[in-house]
């Protein structure tokens, strides 16, 4: 499978994402924000970084790029799309995902290894987190849960969701969500930084394969 990686001015995790995609035996394809041809890719990743320097607010300008217009169409046709950190912000701004991302509680940039409960399976993942505007907000988190749209929650090593395990004040400790159809997803933590044991965790491999292909690779 060929996986498109969207690049904006200010994107900084595109090569890390390509590295991770190769680790799960998929082919990365770089896509420039100013183009509008997806080059026949099977899925799209909008990676982390600071698109357009996060001017106005994170993701607010990137959503208007020609390539994002094509991604919106691709998602509407059932194509798999994954937004990571800044990519999550872009997908929310584009209306592909519910909610919004705001400044962290405490107004500080957070960089740490984070436990996450993968809601569909209950599995606990260990994946790095790094963001300054990662606080997920939504008027009806219970409705998202009832619809099966909560993908990940911040938790402890045992999978328990507690106030002290919520690093940025996200409502319901939500770290990632999907659209109603389930083909578009976004998360603030960085699974592309958790694909090699030298990086401290390989949990990102299973997550990325599941979201981009539809099934997890073996641990």
Active-site residue identified among 33, 115, 138, 190: 190
What does the pLDDT average to over 118-123?
Answer: 94
**pLDDT value at 63 more than 80:** yes
Q: Is 111 a catalytic residue?
A: no
The per-residue pLDDT of the chain, averaged, comes to 94
User: Is pTM beyond 0.85 here?
Assistant: yes
Length of the chain: 219
Overall CATH class of domain 2-213? alpha beta
Q: What is the CA radius of gyration of the chain?
A: 16
What does the pLDDT average to over 97-120?
Answer: 95
Active-site residue identified among 85, 93, 115, 155: 85
Q: Is 85 a catalytic residue?
A: yes
- What are the structure tokens assigned to 201, written together? 């965790």
Active-site residue identified among 93, 119, 133, 192: 192
| Residues facing 176 on adjacent strands | 152, 187
Closest CA to 97 of 183, 9, 200: 183
User: Is the pLDDT higher at 14 or at 61?
Assistant: 14
pLDDT band for position 217 (cuts 50, 70, 90)? low
Q: Is 23 a catalytic residue?
A: no
pLDDT digits (tens, 9 = 90+) for 144-191: 999 999 999 999 999 999 999 999 999 999 999 999 999 999 999 999
| pLDDT attached to residue 95 | 96
DSSP letter for 100, please: E
| pLDDT attached to residue 215 | 74
What does the pLDDT average to over 198-217?
Answer: 89
pLDDT band for position 216 (cuts 50, 70, 90)? low
> In whole angstroms, what is the distance from residue 183 CA to residue 172 CA?
22
How many CB atoms are closer than 10 A to CB 142? 10
Using a pLDDT cut of 90, give the percent of the chain over it. 88
> In whole angstroms, what is the distance from residue 27 CA to residue 30 CA?
10
């Amino acid at each position: 499978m060929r996986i498109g990686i969207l690049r904006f001015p200010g994107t900084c995790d595109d090569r890390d994402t390509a590295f991770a995609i190769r680790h799960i035996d998929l082919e990365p394809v770089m896509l420039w924000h100013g183009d509008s041809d997806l080059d026949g890719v099977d899925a799209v990743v909008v990676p982390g970084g600071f698109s357009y320097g996060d001017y106005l607010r994170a993701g607010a300008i990137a959503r208007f790029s020609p390539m994002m217009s094509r991604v919106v169409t691709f998602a509407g046709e059932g194509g798999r799309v994954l937004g990571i950190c800044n990519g999550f912000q872009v997908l929310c701004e584009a209306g592909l995902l519910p909610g919004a991302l705001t400044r962290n509680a405490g107004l500080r940039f957070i960089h740490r290894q984070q436990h996450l409960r993968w809601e569909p399976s209950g599995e606990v993942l260990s994946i790095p987190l790094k963001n300054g505007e990662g606080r997920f907000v939504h008027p009806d988190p219970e409705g998202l849960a009832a619809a099966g749209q909560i993908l990940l929650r911040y938790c402890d090593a045992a999978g328990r969701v507690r106030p002290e395990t919520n690093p940025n004040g996200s409502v319901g400790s939500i770290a990632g969500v999907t659209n109603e159809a389930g083909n578009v997803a976004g998360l603030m933590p960085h699974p592309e930084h958790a694909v090699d044991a030298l990086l401290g965790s390989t949990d990102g491999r299973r997550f990325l394969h599941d979201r981009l292909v539809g099934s997890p690779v073996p641990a």
